[in-house]
Amino acid sequence: MTKGIDRPDEVYEALIELHRGLDEDAGRRADARLILLLAAEIGDAETLKRLITAAREET
Amino acid sequence: MRSEQMVRFPFRPLGASRVHRKVVVVGAGPVGLTLAIDLRLKGLDVTLVDEDDTVSTGSRAICWAKRSLEIFDRLGVAGPMVARGITWNTGRVFHRDRQVYEFNLLAEAGHAFPAFVNLQQYHVEEALVARAEALGVEILWKHRVVGLDLREAPTLAVETPEGACTIEAGWLLACDGARSQIRKLMSLDFKGQAFEDRFLIADVRMQADFPTERWFWFDPPFHPGGSALLHRQADDIWRIDLQLGPDADPAEERKPERVLPRLRAMLGPERPFELDWVSVYTFQCRRLERFRHGRVIFLGDAAHTVSPFGARGGNSGVQDADNLAWKLKAVLAGLAPEGLLDSYDAERGPAADENILNSTRSTDFITPKTGASRRLRAAALSLAGDHPFARSLINSGRLSVPTVYLDSPLNTADVDAFSGRACPGDAAPDAPLGDGWLLPRLGGGDFTLLGFGTDVETSVPSVAAPISGLAAERYDATVGTAYLIRPDQHIAARWRHPTPEGVAAALARARGVSR
């Protein structure tokens, strides 16, 4: 069950800020670190695998 | 509207080389006119000075928010604006060739005004000028401010077609727009951010049966890589706004041979239309550090500017006027100390910050500047179709809502528990009342005590509302609940069971008499 994002504009701004001053490679490493941190917050392997599948289904 | 179609207002010379006026408003745009009308309705003599002798030309503000309409209603001008304008509540956002989501800005019934009415700024100004003239505002057309002396009372050096004159002002209210002459003459810093992306605005006249909704596209097939907006205005005029990018040449992009193919791609080759107005613009988000400088006070774009996404420019300026008018009246009438005017800055400063923050975020979404922000946006747009959460991230403009003055020094903090949205500092919500509406009964000339089965003695007029129904619901009212409403229809205080002493103390606080 997706919770949705509280204060989405604030979160979106923070996600852009994550990349401030980083070159592309450093930015992608930061994204990867964030993915792992979020995965640890979610914890449940089945949920994570479902989200990973959804991420590949670009429409 | 093209300049040749416009009415010219009469130039009337002052008849003296030096005059004194109690309250001088500079700039007869929507903000200056709103302020002048509000002050005049409160019984003040008001002089409005403008360098031109017409309403504004071309494409400017078009979306008037619910709160602005409520303010215009208080000033007696909303009726003709709503009748002439285009009412809308729904927006749709498209990515490439498909809709990713739609939103309704006023999903509930029981409000006198819709979320928005679209009406060209020149029509709004026409209605306001007519009202200002009927009320006896002294409007000095063709009076251009060229100098300002602040050694004693603010004193304007003014040029007119019949020579120069001097206007000494008791109070000078600068509503003279983004390029404010008063601000320049005072050498005040206008700090903020300029954005590089250029946008094309085309107002076209056409017959079309598109629904009266706000349509926004990211990367549409007819304008690949850019954003596009389609919005209806009065008189079969449609606003089209196309993102051109930072490298576009504004002189070239204005030429019909550049504009027409872009519009045909969007509207279809078969649809006849004519161009009413074309311009290429960039925008800036800036503000003055302080809006009050002694007896000179800045409002609207003269005080703060935003990007157009969200319709936060004109609407916030109208709210500035709404906020200042009653305070200046109270000070001039001796009901409040001059310090009350500092609460204009304390309330409208955070409002400007909120508007700048929202419009900057929208701009960052619409014109992503780095690879990372482009990828993040592409991710949000591609998820939005199947994953509703992602729709909340898509930002085509967060449309103007009234700022809640949460930290205002004029608020009395709650002592009783309330749920619901109408808290101290918020604009009082509307609701049906009897066979009319609640809001027209609140505020205006004086504070109002809105009571739900309350019987408390106060020095201000009171309005009784029933303890059940939409009003009671929106104010979370139980028997005995009362709200103290300011003249600008914002909430100053509320109680479950008010006492005369409590109401008097809240009133004193809201008038800036006590802290």
HEC string for B353-383: HHHHHHHHHHHHHHCCCCHHHHHHHHHHHHH
User: Which pLDDT score, from 0 to 100, does residue B59 have?
Assistant: 78
CA atoms within 13 A on the CB side of B364: 22
In contact, B134 and B2? CB cutoff 8 Å:
no
Q: What is the pLDDT of residues B356-382, one digit of tens each?
A: 999 999 999 999 989 999 999 999 999
What number of other Cβ atoms are within 10 A of residue B278's Cβ? 21
Assess contact for B452 and B484: CB atoms under 8 A: no
pLDDT at B420 over 90: no
For β-strands B163-174 and B155-160, DSSP reports them as: antiparallel
Do the Cβ atoms of B398 and A15 come within 8 Å? no
Percent of chain B surpassing pLDDT 90:
93
Are B385 and A5 in contact (CB < 8 Å)? no
Q: CA of A10: which chain B residue's CA is closest?
A: B361
User: Which chain A residues touch B393 with a CB distance below 8 Å?
Assistant: 5, 8-9, 11-12
C-alpha distances out from residue B66 to B89, B136, B148, B231, B283, Å: 10, 27, 36, 17, 24
Say what the pLDDT of residue A57 is. Answer: 84
CA distance B77 to B34: 10
| B189, two tokens | 């810093």
Cα nearest neighbour of B371 on chain A: A24
Task: Report residue B40 as tokens.
Answer: 């005049």
Give, in order, the Cα–Cα distances in Å from B296 to each of A44, A45, B315, B405: 61, 63, 22, 22
Per-residue b or e along B427-466, where b marks 16 or more CB atoms closer than 10 Å to that residue's CB: bbbbbebeeebbbbbbbbebbbbbbbebebebeeebeebe
Residue B330, Cβ neighbours under 10 Å: how many?
Answer: 22
B134: Cβ contacts below 8 Å, ≥ 6 apart: none
Which DSSP letter does residue B427 get?
A: B
pLDDT at site A2: 73
State the pLDDT at residue B268: 93
As a whole number of angstroms, the distance between CA B418 and CA B431 comes to 18
Please report, for chain A, how many H helices and E strands are present, in that order. Answer: 3, 0
pLDDT in tens, B131-166: 999 999 999 999 999 999 999 999 999 999 999 999
pLDDT digits (tens, 9 = 90+) for B385-417: 899 999 999 999 999 999 999 999 999 999 999
Closest CA to B34 of B329, B321, B302: B321
Strand partners, B298: B174
Average pLDDT estimate for B177-204: 96
Contacts of B385 in chain A (CB under 8 A): 59
Residue A1 pLDDT exceeds 70: no
Q: Quick: pLDDT tens for A12-57.
A: 999 999 999 999 999 999 999 999 999 999 999 999 999 999 999 8
- Taking Cα atoms as reference points, which of B492, B498, B496, B497 lies closest to residue B512? B492
> Is the pLDDT reported for residue B28 higher than 90?
yes
CA separation for the pair B22, B121 (Å, rounded): 28
Closest alpha carbon to B451 in B420, B429, B425, B472? B472
User: In which residue are the tokens 């602040």 written?
Assistant: B150
What is the separation, in whole angstroms, between the first and last Cα of chain B? 50
- DSSP lists the bridge partners of residue B478 as none
Q: What is the CA radius of gyration of chain B?
A: 24
β-partners of residue B205 are B237, B274
Per-residue pLDDT tens over the stretch B92-111: 999 999 999 899 998 899 99
β-sheet bridge partners, residue B193: B285
User: Does residue B2 register a pLDDT over 60?
Assistant: no
Q: Tell me: pLDDT of B1 over 60.
A: no
Set out the domains of chain B in order of their start, with CATH numbers. Answer: 3-87+115-193+285-358 (3.50.50.60), 195-282 (3.30.9.10), 432-510 (3.40.30)
Q: What is the ipTM of this complex?
A: 0.95
| Yes or no, beta carbons of A59 and B385 under 8 Å apart | yes
Q: What is the pTM of this model?
A: 0.96
Average pLDDT over residues B453-472: 93
In this predicted structure, what is the pLDDT of residue B320?
Answer: 98
- Helix B342-366 and helix B313-332, axial crossing angle in degrees, nearest 10: 180
Provide, as residue numbers in chain A, all residues whose Cβ is less than 8 Å from the Cβ of B310. Answer: none
Residues B510, B486: contact at Cβ < 8 Å? yes
Is the CB of A12 less than 8 angstroms away from the CB of B388? no
Q: Locate the chain B residue with the closest alpha carbon to A2.
A: B389
Q: Is B395 on the interface with A (CB under 8 A)?
A: yes
Chain A residue closest in CA terms to B385: A59
CA angle B65, B66, B72 (to 5 degrees): 90
**Mutation target vs A (from B103, B361, B398, B401; most A CBs, 10 A cutoff):** B361
Is B298 in a helix, a strand, or coil? strand
Contacts of B42 (CB under 8 A, 6+ apart): B325, B326, B329, B445
pLDDT by residue (tens digit) across B174-189? 999 999 999 999 999 9
pLDDT at B497 over 80: yes
What confidence score (pLDDT) does residue B313 get?
A: 96
Give which of B93, B389, B391, B394 to mutate to test A binding, by max A Cβ within 10 Å: B389
Unique residue bearing structure tokens 């204009």: B344
pLDDT digits (tens, 9 = 90+) for B299-356: 999 999 999 999 999 999 999 999 999 999 999 999 999 999 999 999 999 999 999 9
> Mean per-residue pLDDT for B247-254?
96
Q: Looking at residue B167, what is its pLDDT?
A: 98
Round the average pLDDT of chain B to a whole number and report it. 95
Residue type, B307: S
Q: What is the CA radius of gyration of chain A?
A: 13
Extended strands (E) in B124-236: 138-140, 144-149, 155-160, 163-174, 191-194, 198-205, 214-218, 227-232
Q: Tell me what the mean pLDDT of segment B426-440 comes to.
A: 96
